[in-house]
Chains A and B, each alone.
Chain A
Amino acid sequence: MIFTTPEFWLFFCCFWFVFTLSRGTARKLVLLAASYIFYAAWDPRFLLLLCGSTVLDYLVGRWLATASAVSTRRRLLLLSLCGNLGVLALFKYYDFFVVSAGELLAALGVSLEPATLGLVLPVGISFYTFQTLSYTVDLYRDPSRKPCGSLLDFANYVAFFPQLVAGPIERARDLLPQLAAIGSRRRGDLSGWQRIALGCFKKVVIADNLAPLVEATYADPGSVYPLALWLGTYAFAVQIYCDFSGYSDIAIGLARLLGVRLRENFDAPYAACGPREFWRRWHISLSTWLRDYLYIPLGGNRGPRLRTAGNLMATMLLGGLWHGAAWSFVLWGAFHGLLLAIGRLRAVAQIADKLPILVRRIGFFHLVCLGWALFRVETLADCAIVWGKLLNPLAFAPGKWLSEVTASGEAGALAVLAGLGTAVVGWQMLVVRDSQAICAVLERRPWVVQLYVAVALLTLCALLAPESPPAFLYFQF
């Protein structure tokens, strides 16, 4: 069930009606049942994995509270890590590493048939695995912290359907108390509709309409004109932002309707002047997770510069691999790790500081776009082709390309899409505001204004949606 389809809204309206009528434990049970139905709509078999992960971490949490010996606590943490990461590795990375090893051996002259499993990736597994892991690691690190006392509350924390399949990745200390009190809360926050409407607009009107443009340029990068490839890369930068932040907006809005506050996941990422700022604005829940549970335990920036650069690179490589089992994602992670390491050099910072802020933003946006090109390609061979074309201005031939655009009859459509994309990036660079700020401004207006804005946005979604909209990009991760 995708948030922008009628079947989801039919499901949600039925659920919301029952949820509003119920109280106490019954309400929590209704929420859990809805979350499981929502997840089972993709594939009911994977519900077992979700339940398994829930029970494992709940029990480990309880045992951690009673265990005082360091060795016991360590073993319990190891149990949780092996259980969660083992399932993730099996479903997401096993085939990738087996095939890669087979290719490596083949290159060395050893021919082996890789024993792949061909498993389907359970939707949202990367998200809920990280969420449950954070709970156990927090309990391990801080013995004074109390574990969740109710399996029902914990199951709701793991399976909370607004953010189950694509985040934001919540921390137990933020979400669990809210879910524990959800039975007594009288009513949700209706301002959530505003956020939902904005999220739908971003996804349906902007991201989905840009998708065919991206698809056309990245289907066969070898034969694409370089300027068309730049256009496709810009379009992908806007598409992935609107797609993912649109999903997060809808998730945050849905949670608000249920009386739950989720953390913000985006804060105008294309307004960033450098890599550190970018990662403070892009997929905030993942970047803070990686910082707290990977970068800082590795040593963070406390060691010598080379060690810090190594920590950054390791964190970003794993962050890239988290997105998908492909070398292009690893390369994308390495690219951002390199940007972060270079960004820490004093000389680079001094040069950057001398430039006007808008120039820095535009410049860094182009670096991010080069990263998105790595993210979007399907094979490692395509990475070299795409970068070769994007970074060779001598091959651009703008005159020839413009005449081809005119001959194709697509000039009008391209101009409209380019305008849409420019408006999104321009807004972020000049106004530096994301959905939460826009909604905060609207919330200060009379309710009638809020209502009309929401209805207008949803009407635009109905009017401008493509015939067969693609699913959310981040569902595949």
Chain B
Amino acid sequence: MHTIACVEWHRELWQVGWVVARPRRMARRVGYLLAACALPLLLFSLDRWVSDRGTLGWERNAVRGGLARVDKLPEASGVVVLGSSTSRDWLRMRALAFLYRIPRDQVVDAHINGCHQACTWAEVRNMLARGRHFEYAFYGLNHFQMCEEPHSKRVLQHRMLLPREQTFDLWKLYAHAKMPQWYIARSIVAAGAQGPADTAAVRAKLRYYTVGRPQPGQSHRWSTANPPSPPRVRYCSYNEDEVRYKLEATRMLFDDLKHLATVSNVMILPDESLSHTTPAITKAWAAHRKALHELAASRPWIELIDMTEGGPWTPERFTDGVHLHQHEYGGQRRRLSHAVLRSMRRRARAE
């Protein structure tokens, strides 16, 4: 009897121990798992920290800079300048204020470096969500920007600019890309990490501190005496597959510009590919102009300004094939002013 009681007691004790031990073991396992998660989280934090600093994180800082310039002038409702640096270079804020006879603080420079159509669309949505409206918007579009060029920094721009509740619209746009899953997956990762999430900044810093940087213009010398051939001229082939996503982004941007500004001046910007007369490039430029004219024709709030007529656009006129030398802009800005005045008169007559 005593033996049986002893066995029962031991069994109960063991069961109690098991019940107590199980949560402990579970807690320990959860602890290990959390510690394992800490490593990538630390990496993401480091990535964010590094990319927040200096030139390394310029894409993120460029987005912040664009938004900050908009926020700095909360009452401005005259003119807004959208797009990338190639768009901004054609416009001087003071000249725009003079052109429209409005105070300087009514002109907002909302350009973001490296901001293509989808990014500009996201920025427009961002401004609309904050209740902004302008009389005039300016946006310059380069030919090479029409071809799809997947890069995680572009997805990050979209994530930073677009209001979160409109994510589904962004995914609808991504559905037109060659690899929608590429964009959507990166969008999710960027949303979770709130950073580039591809550690590009950390890696660049790591290379700089460990193995140094190659000598500019000399990096080929370890393998060959011949310097690499100059990069080929940048242009968009305008194949259907290549432009589908960007055309959709341009269409969405043009549609939303209706709500942001009464009149939106869209500039067709030149680049050095215009000096090349190969059939492929000529055909691509014709397709570019046709596509933009078709998009603008059904949208009366869009005023298309073709800036490609002041040629010849020889490579010497550009610093990198798409940005003009500073001394070139004087004449171009005059041409732009005349084109804007012409369009204003035309609209006034029509009204």
Contacts and interface: CB of A to CB of B under 8 A. Distances in A.
Given A413-B207, A455-B36, A459-B43, A7 B182 contact: yes
Nearest to B212: A412
B215 interface: yes
B214 A409 contact: yes
A456 interface: yes
B21 interface: no
A416 B32 CA distance: 33
Interface stretch (A15-23, A237-245, A299-307, A460-468): A460-468
A463 B202 contact: yes
A302 B326 CA distance: 80
B184 to A, nearest CB: 7
A223 B220 CA distance: 11
A351 interface: no
A10 B186 CA distance: 10
Contacts of A458: 40
Interface stretch (A111-119, A132-140, A182-190, A400-408): A400-408
B203 interface: yes
A255 interface: no
Contacts of B218: 407-409
B73 interface: no
A247 B331 CA distance: 57
A408 B220 CA distance: 7
Interface string A350-376: 000000000000000000000000000
A185 B106 CA distance: 68
A467 B179 contact: no
Interface stretch (A77-85, A163-171, A224-232, A272-280): A224-232
A45 to B, nearest CB: 13
Contact of A455 (B40, B182, B224): B40
Contact of B222 (A6, A405, A448): A405
A229 to B, nearest CB: 8
B206 A463 contact: yes
Max count, chain A CB within 10 A of own CB: residue among B182, B202, B222 = B222
Given A408-B222, A458-B40, A413 B184 contact: no
A389 to B, nearest CB: 12
Contacts of B179: 7, 41
Given A415-B211, A448-B32, A5 B182 contact: yes
Interface string B185-224: 1101100000000111011001100111111001111111
A216 B212 contact: no
A410 B224 contact: no
Interface residues of B, number: 37
Contact of A10 (B37, B188, B199): B188
A292 interface: no
A413 B215 CA distance: 12
A384 interface: no
Interface in A212-226: 216-217, 220, 223-225
A420 B143 CA distance: 42
Given A455-B39, A463-B43, A467-B200, A409 B220 contact: no
A63 interface: no
A409 B210 CA distance: 13
A424 B92 CA distance: 57
Contacts of A415: 211
Contacts of B314: none
A351 to B, nearest CB: 36
Nearest to B181: A7
Contacts of A455: 36-37, 39-40
B226 A223 contact: yes
Nearest to A1: B181
A451 interface: yes
Given A11-B181, A232-B223, A462 B210 contact: no
Nearest to B38: A455
A405 B220 CA distance: 9
Interface centre among B40, B184, B212, B224 (most CB of A within 10 A): B224
Nearest to A402: B222
B224 A223 contact: yes
Contacts of B221: 404-405, 407-408
A58 to B, nearest CB: 30
B33 interface: yes
Given A1-B181, A459-B39, A6 B186 contact: yes
A409 B213 contact: yes
B225 interface: yes
Contact of A6 (B189, B220, B223): B189
A96 B202 CA distance: 45
A456 B181 contact: no
Contacts of B202: 463
Contact of B210 (A11, A405, A408, A416): A416
A456 B223 contact: no
Contacts of B43: 459, 462-463
Contacts of B37: 455
Nearest to B189: A6
Contact of A225 (B186, B206, B219, B223): B223
Contacts of B39: 455-456, 459
Interface in B153-188: 179, 181-182, 184-186, 188
13 contacts: A6-B186, A7-B181, A11-B181, A217-B223, A225-B223, A404-B221, A404-B225, A409-B213, A409-B215, A451-B32, A464-B206, A465-B203, A467-B203
- Nearest 4 A-B pairs (CB), nearest first? A412-B211, A409-B215, A6-B185, A7-B181
Interface of A: 1, 5-7, 9-11, 41, 216-217, 220, 223-225, 228, 232, 404-405, 407-416, 448, 451-452, 455-456, 458-459, 462-465, 467
Given A7-B185, A408-B219, 7 more contacts: A10-B181, A10-B185, A216-B223, A228-B224, A405-B221, A413-B214, A455-B40
